[in-house]
Amino acid sequence: MPSPIAHSTTGYAIAAFLRTVTRGRLSVSPGYAILIANAPDLDFVLQILTGERYHRTFTHSLTLAIAIAASFAYVTRKDAFKSIFWLTLTIYGSHLGLDMLSQGGQGIQLFWPWLTTDIISPIAVFPSVRHGLGLWSATHLIFISFETLYSLLLLKLLRRWQAAQQPLKRSSKGNQKNKITPHRKHM
C-alpha cells in the first residue's frame, strides 16, 4: 500500500479539483481532505492493540466508506449533506483505489462484510511499503522517492489545470460586465 505521502496528495488534489470544477459548490478544507484520505489506515491502531489482523479489512471496504461519508456529512454540514457525502466518499474511495494499485501485500477487503476475499489490481503502480523492515531501512527510499515524484507531478498537473481555468473565469466575468453595461446605460 502507498504511504500517507501519496494518500494525502491524492486527497488534497481531488478536493482542489472538485472545488474548481464545481466553482466552490463541492468544497472542503485541505485538512479535512487529507484526514479522510488517510482515515482507512487507522485500522493499524486496532491491529497493534489486539494483535489480530485488522489492517486492510473492514476500514478498506465500500460499506465503511459509505458509512463514514454519511456520518461525516451529517455531523459537519447537514445543510450540504449531499455534496459533503459525495466528496468524502470520493476521497475515502481514492485511498482504497491506491491501495489496490500497490505492489505486494494481499489486497483489501473491498466488499466486506459480504465477501471477505482480498481484492488487488493485477497492475501495480506504487512500490510496497515494507513495515517489517523497521523505520530506518534504506529500502524505504524506493517508495519515498516514487511517492514524492508522484505527488510533485500530480500537484504540477493540478496547478497547470487550475491556471488554465483562470482565463475562462475572467472571460466569463468580462462577458457578464458587457451584458450589464448596456443595461446600466439604459437606466
At residue 135's C-alpha, the angle toward residues 130 and 136, to 5°, is: 105
Give the three cell numbers for residue 181: 453595461
Minimum distance, C-beta of residue 18 to Zn ion, in the bound complex (Å): 22
The smaller minimum CB distance to Zn ion, of residues 19 and 60, is found at: 60
Tell the smallest beta-carbon distance from residue 82 to Zn ion (Å): 26
Which is closer to Zn ion, CB of 1 or CB of 64?
1
Minimum CB separation of residue 102 from Zn ion in Å reads: 9
Please state the closest distance from residue 112 (CB atom) to Zn ion, in A. Answer: 13
Q: Which distant-in-sequence residues (6+ apart) come within 8 Å of 140 by Cβ?
A: 129, 130, 133
For Zn ion, which is the closer residue by CB, 1 or 65?
1
Minimum separation from the CB atom of position 44 to Zn ion (A): 9
In 10 A of CB 25, how many CB atoms?
Answer: 11
Q: Kindly tell me which of 41 and 147 has the beta carbon lying closer to Zn ion.
A: 41
Task: Give the binding site for Zn ion (CB under 5 A).
Answer: 1, 40-41, 99
CB 88 within 8 A of CB 38: no
Nearer to Zn ion, 80 or 101 (CB): 101
